[in-house]
Chain A
Amino acid sequence: MGAGETLQVKEGVDQETIDAVREVSTYKYGWDTDIEMEYAPKGVNEDIVKLISEKNSEPEWMTSWRLGALERWKKMTEPKWAMVEYPEIDFQDQYYYARPKSMVEKPKSLEEVDPKLLATYEKLGIPLKEQMILAGVEDNADTPSNDRKVAVDAVFDSVSVGTTFQSELKKAGVIFCSISEAIKEYPDLVQKYLGSVVPVSDNFYATLNSAVFSDGSFVYIPPGVRCPMELSTYFRINAENTGQFERTLIIADKGSYVSYLEGCTAPKRDTAQLHAAVVEIVVEEDAEVKYSTVQNWFPGDEHGNGGIYNFVTKRADCRGDRSKVMWTQVETGSAVTWKYPSCILRGNESQGEFYSIAIANNHQQADTGTKMLHLGKNTKSRIVSKGISAGVAQNTYRGQVNMHPRAKNSRNYTQCDSLLIGDKCGAHTVPYIEVKNNSSRVEHEATTSKVDDDQLFYCRQRGMDEEEAVALVVNGFCKDVLQALPMEFAMEAQQLVAISLEGSVG
């Protein structure tokens, strides 16, 4: 139901109610911004890669890095092992670069950014003004304000629109900027770390990303610094037939700490759109990184038309001893999700955690999970995955736990729960476990259950309608993961769970 469509209204219902209904019963972020765009020609080839590099005024080394990736990519084939089906993607029928015309001359400060762009983020609930805070993706009256600051990097199609709180962060020594800016301003850091966690040759989509990524976020936390605020990137795909290929690089130097949030939305389109991001995280000795995602790309309509194809490579390298990384993801959007945020536990006593909620409704397909590669001694990992399937959706957990010979006395605990709503959806669990030493321990627990009619009746007898009841039961099912999210995100995630499952019962 779009804003333009008419809603059948009973007599005596006021406009406020109509608006409220309209708001809750749709993908909320499905509108688009009418803005003049500049596109590179369709398709991917050397010229396009050079053009993207040139648009970003990149140094020579970066251009050749990209071209190297393109050469590799041409020889690669799309992976087919995931439990997802989608029509053949014509990689030459996509735009690889789109930016608002007003961003051609990059604004020097947020004040100079095109008001239309600022309004877009305002409407999404992401105020790009520094006196305001990010209260989830929505302004929530229950959230205490002012005492929490969140810095935002806003990425619109192929470019970063602006980054807030940069100067305040700089005082703490933290670098938070768009990756295009980092390539120019901090070439040594970028050259040292880019591709060091997800190599250029890693996989089909990561290699494509390496060739054509246009923007993304860059974070560097110097030794011993606890980042004074949460950092976040908000991705918005607006243009039609345009892929978004962002690249995020986070470096937590020795003894530092950062919590990073990522949010994503896109307008409703009839045609599917491609999103292939790469996130690399480097965690040095005694450092800790928390990375939380609320992924709410347009999932396609109830008949399976349109939606985002989300092929993402996310990996953290715990290089130093006692380093820690925690991935938390709430995956509610996208028509197809192919995503396995992973941890390489290289340092001794390093720790990796992965908390995931993946919801697939209607025709959505999700194949998601994690990899925990234990290389160092006494390393620990924990996986908590909650998969929810409704409609005719298919939801697969795919996880790999690997204990190398020298990863002595290491431990993994995996808990993998699936919840089914209705009888036409599917849940699949595909664990790969490999233990190559005899002092390590791996535990795997998996359950599959259905939303119980008795539970729903109990809730409804107390006054909740069916959808509220489902949302409550499902939120209960996801509780372990919701608790791992930063507070603002947890609230948004709870509401998202409810919205994503609308129409899944009855």
Chain B
Amino acid sequence: MLKINNLHVSLDDEDKQILKGVDLNVDAGKVHAIMGPNGSGKSTLSYVLSGKDGYNVTNGTVELNGYDILELEPEERASLGLFLAFQYPIEIPGVGNMTFLRTAINAQRKSRGEDEISATDFLRLVREKAATLKIDTDMLKRPVNVGFSGGEKKRNEILQMAMLEPKVCILDETDSGLDVDAMKLVANGVNALRDEGRGFLVITHYQRLLDHIKPDIVHIMADGKIVKTGGPELAIEVENNGYSDLLDEAS
């Protein structure tokens, strides 16, 4: 579904190579986890996949369901079904959460040539999805992420994901800043979306999120490359021994 092939990326501003040949295939129905130490290029990968400015792809390809997405605008990638749950969700003052959601849904529908969602369908859907994430009406009305706690912001990301029904979901350190209860809520939200047609790329530092979102495949990223790939046991190994042993082994 998502095919990353030999991806090399440097920063626009400085001549610094961040990704040095990433190869990764995310298949439909699978949850892939990427773990790795700080500065290994995990977040950069998520930004490059979603089309953020400031990065320069020097080599390699990324395909989503057969489309070469590196030439596409961020919104075109979104409409093809790529979703990024941000590590630091952005505040948009004055824009109600519901307005934001509805605008986003309709923008994607429009670009796919579908009709806009009706007001009643939208309301029904958003209430249903919000309830499972324990997001109350007040939070739906408040401006996007403004004054939200860390946990609320992350739940809100998952709500957007649930509403937009993407094909590939990238979760960038969704567990950062969450207490155990909030993490469970978020994990439940993600698990509810696990589906044969949907692939996940879960980026995290720690094993603890993976206790709740069970990955099928675990990749270790270091210095801009995937250095090791394995099953869920790999995450536990990291938790017990840290990265250094693995990295030594890989080099």
Contacts and interface: CB of A to CB of B under 8 A. Distances in A.
Do A and B truly interact? yes
Interface of A: 452-455, 457-466, 468, 472-473, 475-480
B160 interface: yes
Nearest to B50: A461
Contact of A457 (B74, B83, B94, B104): B74
Contact of A472 (B79, B83, B95): B95
Interface string B55-96: 000000000000000000111011100011010011111110
Contacts, number: 78
B143 interface: yes
B90 A455 contact: yes
A477 B94 CA distance: 6
Contact of B95 (A454, A460, A461, A475): A475
Contacts of A453: 53
B74 A460 contact: yes
Nearest to B104: A462
Interface in B134-175: 143, 160, 164
B208 interface: no
Interface string B204-216: 0000000000000
A454 B90 contact: yes
A472 B95 CA distance: 7
A479 B89 CA distance: 21
A457 B89 CA distance: 11
Contacts of B90: 452, 454-455, 457-458
B95 A464 contact: no
Contacts of B107: 462-465, 468
Interface of B: 50-53, 73-75, 77-79, 83-84, 86, 89-95, 99-100, 103-105, 107-108, 111, 143, 160, 164
B108 A457 contact: no
A115 B13 CA distance: 62
Contacts of A475: 94-95
Contacts of B108: 462-463
Nearest to B47: A457
B95 A476 contact: yes
Provide the main secondary structure of the chain A interface: helix
B75 A460 contact: yes
**A455, A459, A463, A473: residue with the most chain B Cβ atoms closer than 10 Å:** A463
A145 B180 CA distance: 51
14 contacts: A453-B53, A454-B90, A455-B90, A458-B90, A459-B104, A460-B73, A460-B78, A462-B107, A462-B164, A472-B100, A476-B95, A477-B94, A479-B95, A480-B94
Given A473-B92, A477-B94, A463 B53 contact: no
A318 to B, nearest CB: 30
Contacts of B94: 475-480
Nearest to B108: A463
A30 to B, nearest CB: 25
A476 B75 contact: no
B103 A461 contact: no
B117 to A, nearest CB: 12
Nearest to A480: B94
Contacts of A479: 94-95
B37 to A, nearest CB: 25
Chain B CB count within 10 A is highest, among A453, A460, A468, A473, for A460
A223 B160 CA distance: 53
Contacts of A477: 93-94
Contact of B103 (A472, A478, A480): A472
Given A462-B104, A465-B107, A455 B92 contact: yes
B93 A462 contact: no
A24 to B, nearest CB: 13
